[in-house]
């Protein structure tokens, strides 16, 4: 008679503690890379041991903007393009918070593009995770500032022709203190970068390339999400410290990934404090800590 092994005890997925499981299943399509980035984010929270009561996540509009709704943290799903100003207000009101902006390339670099460059210039202490799938996904796959020519999108049926933003170069030039790019394939490196920015003060920016099989890949006949992961694996080259001027993305070209910028400079709050204490001398009194501390 065959003896059956006792049933294995259910093992809880370690990332579940960071998710609002009551909201699962999520809305993301099969093969989409956004969920993979959230998995990395949850593991980074686990690795860096940050106090979860001191983490707030702010998202804008779009498929990536849904992240705020799925994480079991203080989170805010804001209006289109306004995640960064909302996050700036949170940080200034309660400087002890770790404020993470989690949104897509359309939300952050198109309608929110002005906020992106000025937050980097001011060196506001924010952690920005930008999921780049090269289009406005949720609204129907229109081309945006990151669409590489000559990709086909719903608004460029004959192929995009506008030059695309090189996001790492943009935020580097504007003054970000930490800039990295990974893909949804580079889960370990992405998790490490996400961990590092929790120990970094100032404007940090991580771009994550992510498949959108439903819109970008389908329109461009690039296969399923898994085919894009194979493309990421085969075409990515890790160049930590690469000048950001050399990491522009082309359509199906080589992808330069890595940590490009890691530097120090005073953040917005430090500069403001220094200015006010110089100007006001003894009359300058630091605001009391937030009542939520």
Say how far apart CA 220 and CA 192 lie, in whole Å: 32
| 208 makes contact with ligand SF4 (CB under 6 A) | no
Number of CB atoms found within 10 A of residue 221's CB: 7
Distances (CA, A) of 203 to 172, 194, 268, 283: 10, 13, 9, 30
- Among 209, 210, 231, 234, CA closest to 222: 231
User: Which member of 38, 55, 63, 209 binds ligand SF4 (CB under 6 A)?
Assistant: 63
User: Which member of 132, 214, 236, 244 binds ligand SF4 (CB under 6 A)?
Assistant: 214
Pick 56 or 131: Cβ nearer ligand SF4: 131
Evaluate whether 235 touches 253 at the Cβ level (below 8 Å): yes
Taking CB under 6 A as the binding criterion, the range among 39-47, 80-88, 133-141, 177-185 that sits at the site for ligand SF4 is 133-141
| Bridge partners for 153 per DSSP | 156
Taking CB under 6 A as the binding criterion, the range among 93-101, 147-155, 173-181, 208-216 that sits at the site for ligand SF4 is 208-216
Site string for ligand SF4, 164-203 (x = CB under 6 A): ----------------------------------------
User: Which member of 213, 229, 244, 260 binds ligand SF4 (CB under 6 A)?
Assistant: 213
| 28 makes contact with ligand SF4 (CB under 6 A) | yes
Pick 120 or 138: Cβ nearer ligand SF4: 138
Evaluate whether 261 touches 239 at the Cβ level (below 8 Å): no
- Among 141, 147, 65, CA closest to 103: 65
Give the distance, in angstroms, between the CA of residue 178 and the centroid of all CA atoms in the same chain.
Answer: 12
| 130 makes contact with ligand SF4 (CB under 6 A) | no
| 60 makes contact with ligand SF4 (CB under 6 A) | no
Count residues contacting ligand SF4 (CB under 6 A)? 12
| 32 makes contact with ligand SF4 (CB under 6 A) | yes
| 29 makes contact with ligand SF4 (CB under 6 A) | yes
| 87 makes contact with ligand SF4 (CB under 6 A) | no
Taking CB under 6 A as the binding criterion, the range among 26-34, 76-84, 229-237, 274-282 that sits at the site for ligand SF4 is 26-34
User: Which member of 18, 19, 34, 205 binds ligand SF4 (CB under 6 A)?
Assistant: 34
Chain residues in the site for ligand SF4 (CB under 6 A)? 28-29, 32, 34, 63, 133, 137-138, 212-215
């Amino acid at each position: 008679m065959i003896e059956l092994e006792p049933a294995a005890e259910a093992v809880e997925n370690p990332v579940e503690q960071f998710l609002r499981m009551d909201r699962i299943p999520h809305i993301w399509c099969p093969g989409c890379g956004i969920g993979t980035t959230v998995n990395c984010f949850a593991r980074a929270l686990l690795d860096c041991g940050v106090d979860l009561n001191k983490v707030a996540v702010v998202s804008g509009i779009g498929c990536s903007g849904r992240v705020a709704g799925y994480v079991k943290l203080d989170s805010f799903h804001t209006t289109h393009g306004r995640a960064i100003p909302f996050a700036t207000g949170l940080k200034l009101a309660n400087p002890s918070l770790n404020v993470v902006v989690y949104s897509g390339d359309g939300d952050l670099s198109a309608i929110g593009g002005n906020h992106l460059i000025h937050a980097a210039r001011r060196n506001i202490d924010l952690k920005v995770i930008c999921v780049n799938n090269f289009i406005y996904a949720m609204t129907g796959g229109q081309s945006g500032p990151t669409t590489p020519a000559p990709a086909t999108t719903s608004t460029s049926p004959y192929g995009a022709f506008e030059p695309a933003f090189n996001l790492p170069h943009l935020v580097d030039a504007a003054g970000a203190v930490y800039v990295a790019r990974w893909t949804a394939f580079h889960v370990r490196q992405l998790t490490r970068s996400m961990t590092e920015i929790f120990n970094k003060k100032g404007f940090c920016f991580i771009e994550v390339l992510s498949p959108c099989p439903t819109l970008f890949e389908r329109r461009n006949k690039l296969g399923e999400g898994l085919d894009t992961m194979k493309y990421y694996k085969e075409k990515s080259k890790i160049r930590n410290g690469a000048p950001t001027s050399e990491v522009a993305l082309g359509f199906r070209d080589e992808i330069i990934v890595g940590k490009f910028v890691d530097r120090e400079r005073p953040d917005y709050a430090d500069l403001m404090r220094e200015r006010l204490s110089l100007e006001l001398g003894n009359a300058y009194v630091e605001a009391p800590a937030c009542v939520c501390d």
